[in-house]
Chains A and B, each alone.
Chain A
Amino acid sequence: DTAVSQTPKYLVTQMGNDKSIKCEQNLGHDTMYWYKQDSKKFLKIMFSYNNKELIINETVPNRFSPKSPDKAHLNLHINSLELGDSAVYFCASSQRIGIEQFFGPGTRLTVL
């Protein structure tokens, strides 16, 4: 009964490959997010979706394409992976007008 879940937990891949990370929340929230945490632990917002619609896109390269098939899912597809994409990617969810934002366990992406 995990609230926000992500798969996979670890992802190791070669430069140039295309990969996807999946996120699901069972909290009934209407807003979901992707954050990137770099090697220095800095966390930055990448995208936010409300009711399957993109509401925030923070100057992320268009190699990153989020997809929200329904309110409970927000997947992140990354094309042509680069070394600098290595990071931990966190999914989160909240109510748009809510106070609390809940985070998934993270996906550690390593690009070789």
Chain B
Amino acid sequence: GEDVEQSLFLSVREGDSSVINCTYTDSSSTYLYWYKQEPGAGLQLLTYIFSNMDMKQDQRLTVLLNKKDKHLSLRIADTQTGDSAIYFCAERGPGEPVLTFGGGTRLMVKP
């Protein structure tokens, strides 16, 4: 079955850039997503990228997709303490609109 993997933890200083990485195994993925989960809260869709794109930028967020290596990354520029959360990568295959999630990366931003 599909598998999505992320590193567990990332710590950065306020003002630095954060890069959160994700790898996936399903070569037929159509869309790849980044969700943010703050403590005690639900999942908030941050951004997504269609599988035929290499890059998508949305304000402080840049998503890079390397389809050959099945590698997705999320770069957050000028990271703020409010960005501290768990970030989930997810992929969607060509069939039913169900998401397969990675285990989440906990981002800690130090002042």
Contact = CB atoms under 8 A, between A and B. Distances in A.
A45 interface: yes
Contact of A96 (B41, B48, B97, B99): B97
B98 A103 contact: no
Interface residues of B, number: 20
Given A41-B104, A43-B101, A90-B42, A48 B96 contact: yes
Contacts of A105: 41-42
Interface residues of A, number: 27
A40 B103 contact: yes
A44 B86 CA distance: 16
Contacts of B35: 103
A48 B104 CA distance: 22
B97 A98 contact: yes
B98 A33 contact: yes
Interface in B31-86: 31, 33, 35, 37, 41-45, 48, 86
Contacts of B101: 42-44
B24 interface: no
Contacts of A33: 98
A102 interface: yes
Interface of B: 31, 33, 35, 37, 41-45, 48, 86, 88, 96-101, 103-104
Interface of A: 4, 31, 33, 40-45, 48, 55-56, 90, 92, 94-106
